[in-house]
Structure 1
Amino acid sequence: MTSEENWEKIAAAKRAALAEQIPPEYRVPKDQLPPESQLDVTTWPKESGWFSPRELEITGSTASRILKQIASKEWSSEEVTRAFCKRAAAAQQLTNCLSDAFFEEAIQSAKHLDDHLQRSGKLVGPLHGLPISLKDNFNIKGRDSTVGFTSLVNKPAEYNATLVDILERLGAVRYCKTNVPTAMMIAESVNNTFGRTLNPLNRKVTSGGSSGGESALIAFGGSALGVGTDIGGSLRIPAACTGIFTLRPSFGRFTTQRCRSGLAGQEAVQSVNGPMAKTLEDITMYSKAIVDAQPWLVDPKMLPIPWRQVELKKRLKIAVLWNDNVCMPTPPVTRALTETVEKLKKAGHEIIDWDPKLHATALGLLGRMFVADGGKSVEALLAPTGEPYRPEMVQYKDAKDSGVFELWKLHTERSELQRQYLEQWMSYDGLDAVLAPTTPYASVPHGDFKYVGYTGVYNVVDYATVSFPTEITVDKAKDKPVADHKPQSDFCKAAQDSYDHELVHGLPVSLQLIAQRLEEEKVLAMTDIVLQAIKSTD
């Protein structure tokens, strides 16, 4: 067998094995599956009759409510876990969002937690009994972390990621892992091993990447809270594509130790992880629980900063990034920004404009940092099985090794850009936050996600950022394509050319709120204030 045949056979066998991991009782009967033509499958769980009212109530609840119900013994962790395993199984069958499922193991864990609560009357920790989904790169001992590569299939992890151990200690139940793009370096979740994840809100568009399996699962209701990662927008982009919340923390708050990486050792721009959920309350609850667990005691790179209470001014000063001068947002994103700004002004907040003078430089740096090894990391993982480069990974195929001297110069440029960005921030006297698009789009047809500039800038400067859904959805009548558009760049041309207002009609539109480095508590509290302004109808 040649290696060229090898990768396809390995991928086919892995997909078949994943299908077998779905227990027979969680396989949707063919006659109850929604037709291929049904693009929005988020309504299917209620319409199908395949779920009991109790299962729908559980899987339709927020993580915070589930924890309260388990703590009061209204619900058992076993009952909750079984409901989410079933809904995650359905999500997999309709959107291809999982990379691993270990439902029986999860149910046993949940039973142990129930026994502990029954016997002792005490919770194991603040996440007691809550099923939490995990992105594929979180190592779990004995399970694969392929990050999309066929060469990593059937190479189970020999240890848990540090965060996986912390979650277990806090009482969380792990039950599945979610799909990612190859090496986690594409803004859509597609790879040669598992294939493409679809957006449950519209299966013709992407759920984003690289945490797109996670966002699809949560948007479908197969998880109340999941953990993804972000190195150029990989939490925020999928959250925006599916209308959920996420926090991109600064490096040093949530441990990334012992996770699998597609670019292992690349630390010019640090990967971080964070929670994804349907409410801001759940994001804040999780973040506090993780920091309260004192990850700095087990990970030497974590900063010993306890969770802080934030006192905010009544009147926030927010700078608006309307357009980064590289890629103009599509009409629904501009409308969401305009309407949100109007509501913030009405609520008494001070609004100024942010000058994106450093953004193109930051984006250029990010791109150079990702390929500084000449694509060798990716090549080394493709080569053993003869797996081809996906078309989205062409920059890694064409990359030239910059060498250590050039990489050190790149680090110097990055540090100087970080200094300049801080200097610009401080020049806006008393600035609290920047409000910006998360992406130039609501979502895009599969294969069309080309621009990560709005998120990637904040990876380079390592700022704390929340992506949140506005109350605005794409309206094909209001959000028609811009006539006579003069593109600012090739990225801009591609964004406007691929904008299909009929296809994305009804999809949620998200924005991001950016605070300074290590201001996680502040950015979460400020996002709450922005949401209050959005909801206010006075």
Structure 2
Amino acid sequence: MPEKWEDIAALKRNLLLASIPPDWFLPDAIKPPDSQLNVTRFPAESRFFTSRELELTSLGAASLLEKLASGAWSAVEVAEAYCKRAAVAHQLTNCLSETLFDTARSTAAALDEHLRTTGRPKGPLHGLPISLKDNFNIMGVDSTVGFVSWVNQPATYDSTLVQLLRNAGAVFYVKTNVPTAMMIAETVNNVFGRTLNPLNRALTSGGSSGGESALIAFGGSALGVGTDIGGSLRIPAACTGIFTLRPSFGRFPTLGAKSGLAGQEAVQSVNGPMARSLEDLVLFSKTVVEARPWLADPRCLPIPWREVSLGRKLKLAVMWHDGVVMPTPPVRRALRETVEQLQAAGHEVVEWRAEGHERIAEILGRFFVADGGKTVKSILDPVGEPWRPEMAYYKAASEMGVAELWKLQAERTELCKAYLDRWNGVAGLDGILCPTTPYASVAHQDFKYVGYTGVFNVLDYTALSFPSGVTAHRELDRAAAEAHAPLSDVCAEISGSYNEEAVHDMPVNLQLVGRRLEEEKVLQMADIILKDLGMHAPSRT
């Protein structure tokens, strides 16, 4: 290995590119120029993909599984098509960290043989290509988590979730890019560089699961898995207009996944699915829970999958803003129009005040740097890797003493109890509807605030980020941009940098929040809401 960190990173990037078959490199004659911001139509319009490859990569995960389980489509041909599409996605958005193309082919071939000889699929995910965020360990493969010193340090074991999904018949074919330590709301690091948003490459795909969101939005994955400790699933889903579920800790296994802040447990990281439909979130969630992960991960809760029966009319609380940052005009408009549609459909909507949100968000930030940035520094130092500017908060942090940390954790618990009491005080409240982020998306390096997601990490509430069906519009949103007084300094900064031209036509996600450990209920609430918004594909709950 080279000695300089720059050379180590360059070698890793070159090896990643070298793992792509020569036939899958885009010829200059058809490669979109950097000035072409939206590249999501490239697969269909470029003729670089055959009609068969487009067909194989066009379905959601649940529909794709029907083809695979019946033998109508082979696992090998599906895997090959997704490998190629992911390779192209990487060339246009820089979304991958590892390719597993040969492994995917051999796994798929074994699954096809199993179906041929037994007449039965191996499991509920038979032959389904699943993309994984970089921190999920696969034996023999790096999990750099954006650190140069973790290059060429292949995992010696599989994450528990990887084992579970493989046993269910999944095919792993790529791992996706993350920010340094997975602690930035935008996906950029010193190893692989910056991931771009395929809907608009001048904008961020979010973080820390931004490689996943970019790949899925491009159509290079039918179902991916990311993680969330402050919004790392919901933010990238919002930036690219896809679906994701942030479960409460203990529903899905986290054992064996790599972390840039290993041992930080004042607020727990969780993992969850990312997909282009609600149906596929249900598919993943039900499959994982029905595999009884509590028998493999000691911190998983033994809660079987529960059937939930909700009435057609919900009682929802709307939180227009969190008292710290006013959402940008497209998000405000999306929330208002959504509430109006739900009220017209007969749902009861009440107001929700963001009491405690500012303090909870402050506590979350202090938990992240309780070690004074020492853990991150200890990973950077072995190869002399410099701090990225996005990590300045960690670099400047002072270590917190144990007594101070315990005091802060006690305050956290008090705030969680106060929030629970407020929820209990609203009779029959099903969930909270609010922004996922202040933005539709935002220019690279301009993501400034994670309070809308991070608060629910501290509370450990189940939360779903979903596309509202509203898109940003330069004319509709321009007037609103001029009619709002900032709530704080960061609010003024975000409002001042808002650019209606830059985000024109970007999708706007909203966030649906349920109580702790209410994954089944939140998914069903979302199902009802999507029907009444007129943008529903039936889910199989």
Same-fold call, TM cutoff 0.5: yes
159, 162, 184: which one pairs with 2:160?
162
Describe the superposition over 1:443-498 as per-residue Cα deviations: whole angstroms up to 9, x where unpaired: 00000001000000100000001100011111111011522643211221121122
**CA–CA separation in structure 2 for the residues paired with 1:186 and 1:492:** 19
Describe the superposition over 1:122-169 as per-residue Cα deviations: whole angstroms up to 9, x where unpaired: 111100000000000000111100000001000111100000000100
282, 287, 290: which one pairs with 2:280?
282
**CA–CA separation in structure 2 for the residues paired with 1:357 and 1:399:** 27
Distance apart, 1:24 and its partner CA: 1.2
Distance apart, 1:435 and its partner CA: 0.1
**CA–CA separation in structure 2 for the residues paired with 1:468 and 1:485:** 26
Describe the superposition over 1:84-103 as per-residue Cα deviations: whole angstroms up to 9, x where unpaired: 00000000000000000010
Paired residue for 1:209?
207
Paired residue for 2:271?
273
Describe the superposition over 1:209-230 as per-residue Cα deviations: whole angstroms up to 9, x where unpaired: 0000000000000000000000
Paired residue for 1:308?
306
The within-5 A match list for 1:74-93 is 74-93=72-91
**CA–CA separation in structure 1 for the residues paired with 2:346 and 2:53:** 43
**CA–CA separation in structure 1 for the residues paired with 2:490 and 2:221:** 34
Q: Is the 8 A contact 1:249 1:273 kept in 2?
A: yes
Describe the superposition over 1:108-132 as per-residue Cα deviations: whole angstroms up to 9, x where unpaired: 1000000000000011110000000
| Residue segments in structure 2 that go unaligned for 5+ positions in a row | 537-541
Q: Secondary structure at the match of 1:110?
A: helix
Q: Which moved more, 1:478-487 or 1:242-251?
A: 478-487
Distance apart, 1:284 and its partner CA: 0.3
**CA–CA separation in structure 1 for the residues paired with 2:260 and 2:533:** 38
Paired residue for 1:331?
329
Q: Which moved more, 1:268-277 or 1:403-412?
A: 403-412
Aligned partner letter, 2:67: Q
Q: Is the 8 A contact 1:131 1:174 kept in 2?
A: yes
Aligned partner letter, 1:375: G
Paired residue for 1:56?
54
Paired residue for 1:501?
500
* 2:485 aligned with 1:471: no
Aligned partner letter, 1:351: V
Aligned partner letter, 2:534: K
Q: Give runs of ≥4 in structure 1 deviating > 2 Å.
A: none
Aligned partner letter, 1:184: M
**CA–CA separation in structure 1 for the residues paired with 2:210 and 2:236:** 5
Q: Secondary structure at the match of 1:238?
A: helix
**CA–CA separation in structure 2 for the residues paired with 1:91 and 1:464:** 30
* 2:398 aligned with 1:394: no
Q: Is the 8 A contact 2:131 2:173 kept in 1?
A: yes
Describe the superposition over 1:15-37 as per-residue Cα deviations: whole angstroms up to 9, x where unpaired: 11111011112211221211111
Aligned partner letter, 2:527: D
Q: Secondary structure at the match of 1:229?
A: strand
Paired residue for 1:179?
177
Aligned partner letter, 2:313: R
Q: Is the 8 A contact 1:136 1:146 kept in 2?
A: yes
* 2:536 aligned with 1:533: no
* 2:383 aligned with 1:381: no
**CA–CA separation in structure 1 for the residues paired with 2:30 and 2:2:** 41
The within-5 A match list for 1:240-259 is 240-259=238-257
281, 291, 294: which one pairs with 2:292?
294
Q: Is the 8 A contact 1:141 1:158 kept in 2?
A: yes
Q: Secondary structure at the match of 1:422?
A: helix
**CA–CA separation in structure 1 for the residues paired with 2:482 and 2:502:** 18
Normalised to the residue count of structure 2, the TM-score between the two structures is 0.98
Q: Secondary structure at the match of 1:379?
A: helix
Distance apart, 1:2 and its partner CA: 10
**CA–CA separation in structure 2 for the residues paired with 1:129 and 1:7:** 38
* 2:342 aligned with 1:340: no
Q: Is the 8 A contact 2:129 2:172 kept in 1?
A: yes
**CA–CA separation in structure 2 for the residues paired with 1:249 and 1:226:** 15
**CA–CA separation in structure 1 for the residues paired with 2:74 and 2:2:** 51
**CA–CA separation in structure 1 for the residues paired with 2:486 and 2:17:** 45
**CA–CA separation in structure 1 for the residues paired with 2:241 and 2:483:** 30
Q: Is the 8 A contact 1:179 1:213 kept in 2?
A: yes
Q: Secondary structure at the match of 1:421?
A: helix
Q: Secondary structure at the match of 2:495?
A: helix
Aligned partner letter, 2:351: D
Aligned partner letter, 1:27: F
Aligned partner letter, 1:470: S
438, 441, 461: which one pairs with 2:439?
441
Paired residue for 1:354?
352
Distance apart, 1:359 and its partner CA: 0.4
Paired residue for 2:459?
461
Describe the superposition over 1:396-446 as per-residue Cα deviations: whole angstroms up to 9, x where unpaired: 001111011111111111111111110111111111000000000000000
Aligned partner letter, 2:180: T
**CA–CA separation in structure 2 for the residues paired with 1:187 and 1:59:** 28
Q: Secondary structure at the match of 1:209?
A: coil
Paired residue for 2:514?
515
Paired residue for 2:539?
none
The within-5 A match list for 1:13-92 is 13-92=11-90
Aligned length: 535
Q: Secondary structure at the match of 2:281?
A: helix
The within-5 A match list for 1:113-124 is 113-124=111-122
Q: Is the 8 A contact 2:312 2:528 kept in 1?
A: no
Q: Is the 8 A contact 1:444 1:498 kept in 2?
A: no
**CA–CA separation in structure 2 for the residues paired with 1:106 and 1:29:** 25
**CA–CA separation in structure 2 for the residues paired with 1:58 and 1:366:** 42
| Residue segments in structure 1 that go unaligned for 5+ positions in a row | none
**CA–CA separation in structure 2 for the residues paired with 1:207 and 1:177:** 16
Q: Secondary structure at the match of 1:30?
A: coil
Normalised to the residue count of structure 1, the TM-score between the two structures is 0.98
Distance change in 2, residues 1:273/1:506 (3 Å)? same
**CA–CA separation in structure 1 for the residues paired with 2:452 and 2:355:** 13
Distance apart, 1:198 and its partner CA: 0.1
Identity of aligned residues (%): 62
Paired residue for 1:370?
368
Distance apart, 1:240 and its partner CA: 0.4
Q: Secondary structure at the match of 2:175?
A: strand
Paired residue for 2:490?
491
